[in-house]
Amino acid sequence: MREFSEQELVRRQKAEDLRNLGIDPFGHSFNVTSDSQKITEKFASYTKEELEDEKNEVVIAGRIMNKRRSGKAGFMDIQDKFGNIQIYISINDVGESEYELYKSCDIGDIIGINGWVCKTNTGALTIHATKYTHLVKALRPLPEKFHGLTDIEERYRRRYVDLIMNDKAKEIAFIRPKIIRCIQNFMDNRGFVEVETPILTTLLTGAAARPFATHHNTLDLDMYLRIALELPLKRLLVGGMEKVYEIGRTFRNEGMDPKHNPEFTMMEAYLAYSDLEGMMELTEAMFQTVANEVFHKMTFHWSDHDINLAGPWKRVSMTDAIKEKTGIDFTEERSIDELLKLCEEHHIPVEEHQKSLGHIINLFFEKYVEETLIDPTFLYGHPIEISPLTKKNPKDERFVDRFELFIGGKEFANAYTELNDPIDQLERFESQLKERDLGNDEANDIDMDFIEALEYGMPPAGGIGYGIDRLVMLFTESDSIRDVILFPTMKPKD
C-alpha cells in the first residue's frame, strides 16, 4: 500500500474539500485568450499609468510557482509554456468565495485568471485578477524552488518535473522542433522529398551496430528494430525519386554515455547524380542555415570549445591526419605482419576480425586523431574494409569515397559516394559475413532484395546520415544527449 507524506495527505484532503464545494479538483476546459509571452511583448513598454487607464483584459492559465499573501490581498507567480507572470489578487476584486480558493491553493496547482494588465510600483508587469478559477489540484509538492531536481538521474526520469523547474530544459524542449523544422524547410527548398521507411526489418543493414530483436507473431518471423535508414531510401533512388530524405528513430543495442542513447534520431538523405562533394556542400549549408535562422549566430560553445560554423570547413584525409600525429604513412604497402607490429609498438589491441589494413587504420585514427578534430572537419578517404556500402576510390581501391564530419572531437555525419555496382556490393556483403565468422557481431547481413534493386540500375548518387540528437546538442550547447531527448532510456528505479 502506498504511503503518503504529510504534505500529500493535506493536499488530498483539500481535493476532497473542493469536491464538497461542488468544484472538480481536476477541472474542465478553460478559454485562454493570452499568455505570458504575448502579454510581455505587448505591454512591457507601457507605463503604469497607461495600463491603469486602458485596463486591457486578458484570460490566462498556468501553474502556481510561488505565493505571497497578506491579509485580504496577495501575489503569486503562475507559469505557462513561455514562462512566469505575476498575479495580484484581492478579496475586493474577486469576492470572498474565490479569495478563499486562493488562500487554500498550493504551489503546483493549475489555475485560470481573468484580469487586466497592470504594473506594480516597482515596474513589474502583473495581471490584476478579477476572477480566480481553480483548474487542477496538484497532489504532490514541487521540489524546493531554489534547487529543483538536484539528482540528475531523477531529472531525466521525471522529465515532467524537470520541465516545470528547469528553464533550460524547457528551452531545449521547444528549440529542438524548431531546429528540425528548419532542417525540413532547408531540404524541401532544395527539392528533396521527405519519406517514411519501415522501422521493423528482417535484416541488419546500413550500419555496423548491434540490434534490438523482436518477433512478429502472425508471421512467426524474427525481426529487428532498424539500425539505419539507408537501404530502403536507396531503393527509392532506383525507383526514380532522385532526392529523398527521412528523419526518424533508429535503434542500436549498445552502450550508453553522454553522447549515445539506445534509441536516437537520424536524418539520412540521398541525392541522385551527386557525389561526396555534393554532400559536403549540402552539409555545410544546412548547419549554417540552422545557425543563422534559428540562433542568429555562427559560434557555439560546446564540449569545452568555441565552435565556429562559418565556412569554409576543413578537409583532411584519414591517412594524412594519422601521418601528422604519428608519422606513419598508411598509404605505403605493408604486410599484415608489419601492420600488426605497428599496433603492438603503439599499444593498440587488435581483434581477430580487425587484422586488415582498413581496420588497423581505423584503430590508429580512433586513438590518435578523432578527439583532436575540434573545428568542423570533413575527414575523407576511409579504407574499404570499414565502408561496405561506399564506392571505391578510382585512384586507390584500398580506399573509398566517404567522409565523416567531426566537430568538437565527435562524429556528426557520415557520407558516401554511393556504391551502385551490384556485383561489387554483393562481394562487400559477403566480406561482411566473413568478418562475422571471425567475431564481428556488428557486420551487415546480405540483403539480396537490395542487390536485385541495384541490378535494375541505381543512378550515381551522394548519400549522408546525420545524428540529429548530437546536432541539437551542439546548437543548444548541451553536454549530454539526455538533455536533448525528452524521454531518454533510463534504468528502472528500484
Choose among 149, 183, 192, 159: nearest CA to 475: 183
Pairing of strands 461-467, 402-407: unpaired
Question: Total structural domains in the chain?
Answer: 2
* Cα-based distances in Å from 3 to 109, 160, 161: 21, 22, 20
Same domain, 476 and 400: yes
Same domain, 66 and 188: no
Same domain, 131 and 171: no
**149 inside domain:** no
Same domain, 49 and 169: no
Cα–Cα distance, 372 to 370 (Å, whole number):
5
For residue 259, what is its C-alpha cell?
553522447
Choose among 323, 306, 312, 308: nearest CA to 281: 312
Q: Which amino acid is at 434?
A: K
pLDDT of residue 173: 97
Q: Which amino acid is at 383?
A: P
Give 299's contacts (C-beta < 8 A, 6+ positions apart).
306, 307, 308, 309
**364 inside domain:** no
**367 inside domain:** no
**329 inside domain:** no
Q: Coil, helix or strand for 375?
A: coil
**353 inside domain:** no
Mark which of 109, 142, 175 sits at the end of a domain.
142
Same domain, 194 and 92: no
Partners of 214 in the β-ladder? 223
Residue with cell 556485383: 423
Q: Coil, helix or strand for 233?
A: helix
**159 inside domain:** no
Same domain, 118 and 209: no
Counting DSSP H helices and E strands in the chain, the numbers are 16, 20
**82 inside domain:** yes
**340 inside domain:** no
pLDDT of residue 329: 96
Partners of 305 in the β-ladder? 302
Choose among 418, 405, 424, 403: nearest CA to 471: 405
For residue 362, what is its C-alpha cell?
581505423
**Contact predicate 400/427, CB 8 Å:** no
Same domain, 383 and 472: yes
**Domain of residue 21, residue span:** 6-142
pLDDT of residue 149: 63
Same domain, 186 and 294: yes
| Average pLDDT per consecutive 10 residues, the chain (494 residues; last block may be shorter) | 92 98 96 97 95 96 95 96 97 97 97 97 96 98 71 88 94 98 98 97 84 95 95 97 97 90 97 96 98 98 96 95 96 94 95 92 96 97 87 90 96 95 91 79 81 97 97 97 94 79
Residue with cell 585514427: 365
Same domain, 170 and 79: no
Pairing of strands 243-251, 193-194: parallel
Same domain, 205 and 94: no
The whole-model pTM stands at 0.91
Q: Which CATH number do you get for residue 174?
A: 3.30.930.10
pLDDT of residue 147: 55
Same domain, 241 and 124: no
Choose among 378, 407, 406, 408: nearest CA to 314: 378
Residue with cell 567522409: 403
pLDDT of residue 145: 59
**Contact predicate 412/372, CB 8 Å:** no
Q: Which CATH number do you get for residue 134?
A: 2.40.50.140
Same domain, 188 and 109: no
pLDDT of residue 341: 95
